[in-house]
Structure 1
Amino acid sequence: MFSDPVAKEILGALSAERVRRTVETITENIPTRLAGSENGRRMAEFTARVLTEVGAAGRVVNLPGLVSFPGEGRLKLDGEIFTGSTLGQSAPSIPGGTAGRLVDVGPGDARALAEAARRLGQEDLTGCLLLSDLASHPPRQEKLRLAQAAGAVGCVMMNFGPDDGTAIPFGSVKAAWGNPEAGNYAAEVPSIPAIGLSRRDGTALRVQLASNAPEGRIEAEVENDWREIQITLGEIASGQASEFVLVGGHQDSWFGPQATDNAAGTACILEIARVFAPHSDRLLRGLVFGCWQGHETGTMIGSSWIADQEWDRLSRGAVAYLQIDEPGCVGTTRWDVSSNAELRAFHEEIEDELLDGRARIWRKAAKMGDASFLGLGIPMIAAQGGFTDEEIAKAGSRGWWHHSVHNTIDKLDWDEVALHLRLYAGYLWRLCTVPILPYRFAPAAAALTEAIDTLPDAPMGIDTRRLGQAAWHLAGLLGRVDARLAAVGKSAAVADNRAAKINDLVRHIARELVPLSTTVAGRYGQDPYGYSPLAAPIPAIAGLAELEAIAEGEPRLLALTRLRRARNRVADAVSEAAFFAELLLGELD
């Protein structure tokens, strides 16, 4: 697969030592890279300069962002003071602190909140402070959104890691993905304070809360404001086509050096640009690089802004998004990949060759990190070394140091960084040089039909039967499409004009299918970060199976209206995908 002399040259030129030197420069000279701060600006200027030096035409783009500058956070309970951090985008506490009964809600998901309310003999958690565990899903942002909707007056979130761990967690709790708008501000921008405590303190609190819910008070110091923030863009144009692969990762950070998160990822992006730039004449597709900001203290502002601002170009020409975040952490023993099913066979073939038998795990692409392009229908790959389930249980999925001041350069393994570089370059070389896009649609179609087949027949009059018939028709078409694409991909040569027609239709199918499996909001919106329905195979109709279990009256009627419309959106996407599949089969025959 990588026998081409240029491919060998690219893989051979990658240097983990150069990445190490870049990480040292960033962490020593530009620590605490908060979006909207002076160091945030300096970081963007640094990456733009390096991208330009290596031949990738770097430039800084200024944009507005609702960002956060949190300070210390405290919990006062029974005469004791627990000191931690105020979480980003938290509302400030009222003068003297925000008071309420402190209740342990475990993971902080909807079910746990309902159980806690029942224990208290209440309909909801109005007036309560909620203690939740960052080691468990959902993410911080969804924990707070659910708590706020349940009437809570504040949140306390205990860190992951060993039970005696003293690391204080940083993190944003704003569910609104990117900059908010009027329609989602009230529900998705925090109106209650939230603080983070160490695992040790949280564990001690859970013991206290096992038998009662004492009155507590939290103090949260924070400044949330609209600021000018910076992102950095770079590009290596192919000169042969308007298609391109987007490579991105955030360059802002929390307090301290934040070596793994994400100085290392930024350094890897710069290194990849360096080795690809001299070979732009061999690329059938270009590379566009994005170093985002507003990831940490604003919840994906930079990447979502680009999704909106560069909509036309992304919609027409982006064929994939490679997200690079926290590569090369010490202690990782397996390869973790989150991707859309359309790209799974493609990247696993590369991993078979370059991973040397290392264990790996695959998950469906999730709207996490800077996954701001799923609504556009751009399939993505997010891959990095990962911990085993046993290691995660002890230290959290990213290491106990994640989102703390302990995220220092000693948390990077340079042999692991070298492996990451090879995998990333391998993905990109193939994506940029194969004449026919390497998507395979049958796995996505199978997941679609399986999910629809499990739905009840016509719940509350919503037609699931015809939806299922349409999905099975599409699955049949896409099975034939995959077989023909595989055959064409193996042919010695494909005329440029024919390849362009085939790829255009392939992209059209992906533009319909990718949002179906990854979004509720669909093509033109952004779902809240960590939104619980996104875990479903078809998120937009996630509540259809439970519709009749919703309390009668207005709650059920509201859900019925939403789900009927969501069903129709799914039906339209299936129909459109089938239309383009039939056109593609005509082109492939």
Structure 2
Amino acid sequence: MSDEPSNENARREGQGSEAERRFLADLTGGAAWELVERFATLNRESGSEDERVAARTIAQRLQEAGVPVEVYTPELYLSLPRGARVSIDGATPLSLTGKTPSFSVSTGDQGTSGRLVYLPSNFAQGSGDLFDSNLRSAEGDLAGAVVVTEGLPLPQKVLDIRATGATAAVFVNPGERIHEAICTPIWGGPDLESADRRPTLAVASVNRPDGERILAAVKAAQASGRSLTATVCTWLEEGLYPCPVTVATIPGSQEPEKFVLLHGHLDSWHYGIGDNAVGDGALLELAIGLWRNRASLRRSVRIAWWPGHSQGRYAGSTWYADRFGVDLAENAVAHVNCDSPGCRWATVFEEVSWMPELAAFTQEAIRDVTGLDSSGERPPRAGDWSFNNLGVSGTLMLSSTMPDPLRKEKGYYGVGGCGGNIEWHTEADTLEVADREILTRDIKVYGAVVWRLATCERLPFRFRATVADMKAALDRYASQAQDRFDLDPVAQELDKLDRQLARLEAADTLAATAVNEALLRVGRILVRLHFAKGDPFRQDPALQVPPLPDLAPAGRLAQLEPGSLEAWFTRTSLVRGRNRVVHGLREAQRVVEGVLKGV
């Protein structure tokens, strides 16, 4: 294949082309599976020698294939758990070995003690509600208490427990194994504005059998009118660690400055085969395949392996968003996240993450490769989606998963990766969790998505779908507000933008470069309005972001006492949020109007 195609040839290399078929045929899974087997021997904790070995292995294999690669070594702020113990007094004292999540307070051997209080909660049913708190309201004064509850120690629930005044928390995991976790609400590392959000609780997790023993002791004590004292000991190492960020670049032939960012995390909890050695192998296979077929690429593709995902709350991808923020804001076409593909029994594509503008595009790619329909959800504030504040459209996080009937048959509960396998974030996430055939299929899905984004003449964004999603959220907020706040100005601007976008979609005589530039500018605006509140070069907290987050407080306004200070504060926030949204929508209209003048 020639390395220097004509422009006319390049226009024919996109979706469904012979060039795409050749590229997908090149993705046999061999390079990916070889890396998965190698990683099965490496415990890739961030900041560790095994993580550095893993990065060197990837760089070496890229170099052997001729793929240009750079390895950066930033210092990342990490928290490395080293163990936990929960002790409870009473008629039958308990001393239980547990785990502590990253960024828990480290108590050392002295621990922290308090009255043991049970706050009921729920276990997650799937990845869609994994990050919800579900914590019921506390009764009475919990200052200095040790709270025990169900679920995983994820940021929102830990924040809710902190708000009760408790000094420590014990989380009862849903199964026999204890899942590793990270409890800080700070995305990617503290700065001057977020450092005070660091967790102040000592947090421990126990498995379900031990948790049921604790809950039984609490209930027995309550029945007899007694109280129990619990002591939580946690051990962690915390600080700055040099970590490898590996980035391969396959240059485009016509718009090399524009790029698709394909990425996933290198580090793991324990051996982390399903999360995320399979993703690391997929990225390697895709990098080599794209390099072999680079002559057909219109735009560049950057493939990145992030450290600091598991023990740094996405510290590696956040470092990249900081270090290359202006480049990303000006030139990133889209980002595609690769986490936990190719796991056993993962035969369906459900709860796939995508932004509305890329939903139909991603579904078509999945259908073309696999013959399967797919369903998706609003991307959670999770994974390595560190580019929302920059306004970069994204698709995929987790890919395939096991069907719900099979999960129910196996008695599985909700987890956040590994294709639904409950070995996720445990010592049992070993080679048995991966499936070579499924991995090869999933690599081709990612390949089709990235190939089309990098080769299509006109970008495939459908921002009318984003506007429709915004309208649905706005209607919900307006109904909840019960005429206590006027959201009509936003509705009017959404209608105007929708009409303009309809004209833009129908304008097939416009130059593709002009349309693409307009689409990217509109995307920067709408993604920020719909998925972020902070400035473009900051990171919102690692907490769930509702649609049109500036206007979400309207949903609770009707519950507040009219004339109260809280209601006044809420209305003031909503006025400012409405101004931001209206201004942004008008700016998007001006962008579309500008390109439509060329019709």
Alignment TM-score, normalising by the size of structure 2: 0.87
Confirm whether residue 102 of structure 1 aligns to residue 124 of structure 2.
Answer: no
Which residue in 1 is equivalent to 2:27?
14
Secondary structure of the 1:578 match is helix
Which of these residues, 141, 144, 150, is aligned with residue 127 of structure 1?
A: 144
Matched, 1:50 2:61: yes
**Contact 1:178-1:302 within 8 A present in 2 as well:** yes
Distance in 2 of aligned mates of 1:300 and 1:157 = 23
Q: Secondary structure, in 3 states, of the residue corresponding to 1:454?
A: helix
CA apart distance, 1:505:
0.5
Would the alpha carbon gap of residues 584 and 345 (structure 1) be closer, same or farther in structure 2, given more than 3 Å must change? farther
Q: What is the match of residue 518 of structure 2?
A: 505
In the TM superposition, residue 400 of structure 1 has moved relative to its aligned partner by 1.3
Q: Does 1:395 align with 2:418?
A: no
Shift of 1:350: 1.6
Quote the residue 2:432 is aligned against: 410
Which residue in the other structure is 1:544 paired with?
554
Q: Which residue of 2 aligns with 1:239?
A: 253
Note if 1:282 corresponds to 2:267: no
TM-aligned CA distance change 1:17 to 1:50, over 3 Å? closer
- How far apart are 1:157 and its partner, in Å? 2.1
Q: CA offsets, 1:363-415, max 9 Å, x none?
A: 12222100001111111111411133451762323321100100001101111
User: Which of 345, 360, 365 is matched with 2:374 structurally?
Assistant: 360
Residues 178-197 of structure 1 mapped to structure 2, 5 A cutoff: 178-187=188-197, 189-197=198-206
2:38 corresponds, among 17, 25, 30, to: 25
| 1:219-230 pair list within 5 angstroms | 219-230=233-244
Q: Is the 8 A contact 1:55 1:236 kept in 2?
A: no
Taking the aligned partners of 1:264 and 1:521, their CA distance within structure 2 comes to 33
Match of 2:502 among 470, 479, 492: 479
* 8 Å CA contact retained: 1:521, 1:540: no
* AA at the equivalent of 1:5: E
| Counterpart contact for 1:478–1:581, Cα < 8 Å | yes
Aligned counterpart, 1:491: none
Partner of 1:348: 363
Q: Per the alignment, in what secondary structure is the counterpart of residue 181 of structure 1?
A: coil
Query: Are the aligned partners of 1:104 and 1:209 in contact in 2 as well (CA < 8 Å)?
Result: no
Is 1:515 the equivalent of 2:528?
A: yes
1:315-326 equivalent positions in 2, closer than 5 A: 315-326=329-340
1:351–1:95 CA distance, 2 compared to 1 (3 A)? closer
Classify the secondary structure of the residue corresponding to 1:270: helix
The answer as to whether partners of 1:65 and 1:179 remain within 8 angstroms in 2 is: yes
Aligned pair in 2 of structure 1 residues 474, 576: CA closer, same or farther (>3 Å)? same
| 2:102 maps to 1:91 | no
The verdict on how the C-alpha distance between 1:407 and 1:345 changes in structure 2, with shifts beyond 3 A counting, is same
What letter corresponds to residue 378 of structure 2 in structure 1?
Answer: K
The letter of the residue matching 2:414 is G
Further displaced range: 293-302 or 560-569: 560-569
Q: Is 2:468 the partner of 1:446?
A: yes
Secondary structure, aligned partner of 1:66? strand
From 157, 166, 179, the equivalent of 2:171 is 157
Q: Match of 1:472, as an amino acid?
A: D
Counterpart residue number, 1:581: 592
Runs (5+) with no aligned partner, structure 2: 1-13, 124-130
Provide the C-alpha distance between the structure 1 equivalents of 2:498 and 2:217, rounded to a whole number of angstroms: 54
Distance 1:510 1:2 in 2: 22
- Are the counterparts in 2 of residues 14 and 275 from structure 1 also a CA contact under 8 Å? yes
1:304 paired residue number: 318
Q: For residues 499 and 373 of structure 1, what CA distance do their matches in structure 2 show?
A: 25
**Letter in structure 2 aligned against 1:134:** G
| Alpha-carbon contact 1:340-1:379 (below 8 Å) kept | yes
Distance 1:45 1:473, change over 3 A: same
Percent identity, aligned pairs only, is 26
Pick from 524, 527, 531: which aligns with 2:537?
524
Q: How does 1:252-267 map to 2 (within 5 A)?
A: 252-255=267-270, 257-267=271-281
Q: Which residue of 1 aligns with 2:83?
A: 72
Distance 2:521 2:569 in 1: 33
Does structure 2 retain, via aligned residues, the 8 Å contact 1:105–1:130? no
Matches of 2:264 and 2:101, distance apart in 1: 22
Task: Report the AA paired with residue 74 of structure 2.
Answer: L
202, 208, 232: which one aligns with 2:211: 202
Residues 1:455 and 1:262: Cα distance change in structure 2 (over 3 Å): closer
Change (3 A) 1:130 1:112: farther
Q: Distance in 1 between matches of 2:148 and 2:119?
A: 5
Distance 1:420 1:45 in 2: 25
Q: Which residue of 1 aligns with 2:11?
A: none
Matched, 1:469 2:492: yes
- Checking the alignment, whether the CA contact within 8 Å between 1:506 and 1:584 is kept in structure 2 is no
Q: CA offset at residue 67 of structure 1? A: 0.4
Deviation at 1:224, TM superposition (A): 1.0
Aligned residues of 1:366 and 1:518 also touching (Cα < 8 A): no
Distance change >3 Å, CA 560–CA 174, structure 1 → 2: same
Corresponding residue number in structure 1 for 2:447: 425
Cα distance between partner residues in 2 of 1:524 and 1:210: 49
1:155 aligns to what SS in structure 2? strand
2:231 aligns with: 217
2:160 aligned counterpart, secondary structure: helix
Residues 210 and 315 of structure 1: is their aligned pair in 2 closer, same or farther, counting only changes over 3 Å?
same
Shift of the 22–112 alpha-carbon distance from structure 1 to 2, 3 Å rule, reads closer
Report the equivalent of 1:172.
182
Secondary structure in 2 aligned to 1:11?
helix
SS of equivalent to 1:315 = helix
Preserved contact between residue 129 and residue 156 of structure 1 (Cα < 8 Å)? yes
Number of aligned residues: 558
Q: Distance in 2 between matches of 1:477 and 1:560?
A: 31
CA contact (8 A) 1:442 1:482 kept: no
Q: Which amino acid aligns with 1:286?
A: S
